[in-house]
Amino acid sequence: MKNDNLIINGKEFNSRLILGTGKYQNFDTLQNSIESSGCDIVTISIRRLDFKTSNSKSIAQKSSIMSYLISENIWLLPNTAGAKTAEEAVKLACLGQELTQRMGQEDNNFVKLEVISDPKYLLPDPMGTIKAAEYLIKKGFTVLPYINSDPMLAKHLEDLGCATVMPLGSPIGSGQGIKNINNLQIIIENSKIPVIIDAGIGSPSEAALAMEMGAAAVLVNTAIAGSSIPAQMSQAMRLGVQAGRLSYCAGRIIPSKFAKSSSSLDGTDFLYY
């Protein structure tokens, strides 16, 4: 198959699996999971980093995960997790940009935009997301917004200039899988930018399903971090994503209402005894 890299705002990535870094029991488990996943992009919560130090390089030195990611040339995707308003999200995005650029990724303006004002169901705030996205895009950010599986919202964000849309498969951290297939299919069909399924994926088969639907990539965190053997699960997710993408590109057969013989009888000579 020809070059099939994931492209986001002109930047190419070999892997279509993106990893989150929360909920791991320790750094070694996280590191092993990243390595076995083969991912090129890792998302990190800006709120979890210690900004009390005098500069971003000091932050990196104090953070094992940050120094590891930089040493392995893994693309940092700062996220605004914890932001309840557009204003909070913008502030976190700016901190994330400063951090990644001072750590050596000078051309990194990526931000995973999350605005979540609902503490019970943790559903993204569409109005806050649009407001923050519009501001950040004008400031030159490459915005990857986390959203509900709303086709019209996805289209509005694309029209604003977002680099991707990241609709949820089901509630974040739930492991329920892909519960809103119809809406996700509409989003994928209508989008001219990459659609990354984010949240709810619980197994490699669900990651494969997302890719078979035509998603450009998936983001997985809890399903790996919460598994019994995270490094093994991350490898399984890697294979699931690869299988789903290959299947999508190959093109599945059209389902038929009736059975069809897999062996043709045309030109067959029968012998009668």
CATH number, position 48: 3.20.20.70
Which whole number is the average pLDDT over 125-149?
A: 96
Better-predicted residue by pLDDT, 48 or 212: 212
Q: Is residue 159 part of a domain?
A: yes
**Catalytic position from the list 52, 112, 192, 257:** 112
In the predicted structure, residue 262 carries a pLDDT above the cut 80 = no
**Residue 118, pLDDT score:** 85
What is the chain's Cα-based Rg?
21
Confidence of residue 46 (pLDDT cuts 50, 70, 90): confident
Q: Is 273 among the domain residues? A: no
Residue 106 located in a structural domain: yes
pLDDT for res 266: 62
- Domains contained in the chain, number: 1
- In which band, very low, low, confident or very high, does the pLDDT at 54 lie, cut at 50, 70 and 90? very low
pLDDT of residue 239: 98
Residue 62 annotated to the active site: no
- In this structure, is residue 262 part of a structural domain? no
Banded model confidence at residue 8, pLDDT cuts 50, 70, 90: very high
Structural domain that includes position 43: 12-250
Report the alpha-carbon distance of residue 20 to residue 41 in Å, rounded.
9
Here the tokens at position 115 are: 């605005």
Q: Which uninterrupted H or E stretch holds 13?
A: strand 11-13
Q: Beta strand 142-147 with 75-79: parallel, antiparallel or unpaired?
A: unpaired
Per residue in 160-218, pLDDT (tens digit) is: 999 999 999 887 888 888 988 999 999 999 999 999 999 889 999 999 999 999 999 99
Q: Among 5-9, 81-85, 130-134, 176-180, which is the least confidently predicted range?
A: 176-180
| Residues 6 or more apart in contact with residue 121 via CB below 8 angstroms | 171
22 within domain boundaries: yes
Of 223, 253, 259, 257, nearest in space to 17 by CA? 223
- Does 260 map to a domain? no
Residue 163 pLDDT = 97
pLDDT band at 240 (very low <50, low <70, confident <90, very high): very high
Judge whether 270 lies within some domain: no
Is the pLDDT reported for residue 95 higher than 60? yes
**55 within some domain:** yes
Q: What average pLDDT score do residues 124-146 get?
A: 96
Residues making up the chain, counted from first to last = 273
Q: Is the pLDDT of residue 66 over 50?
A: yes
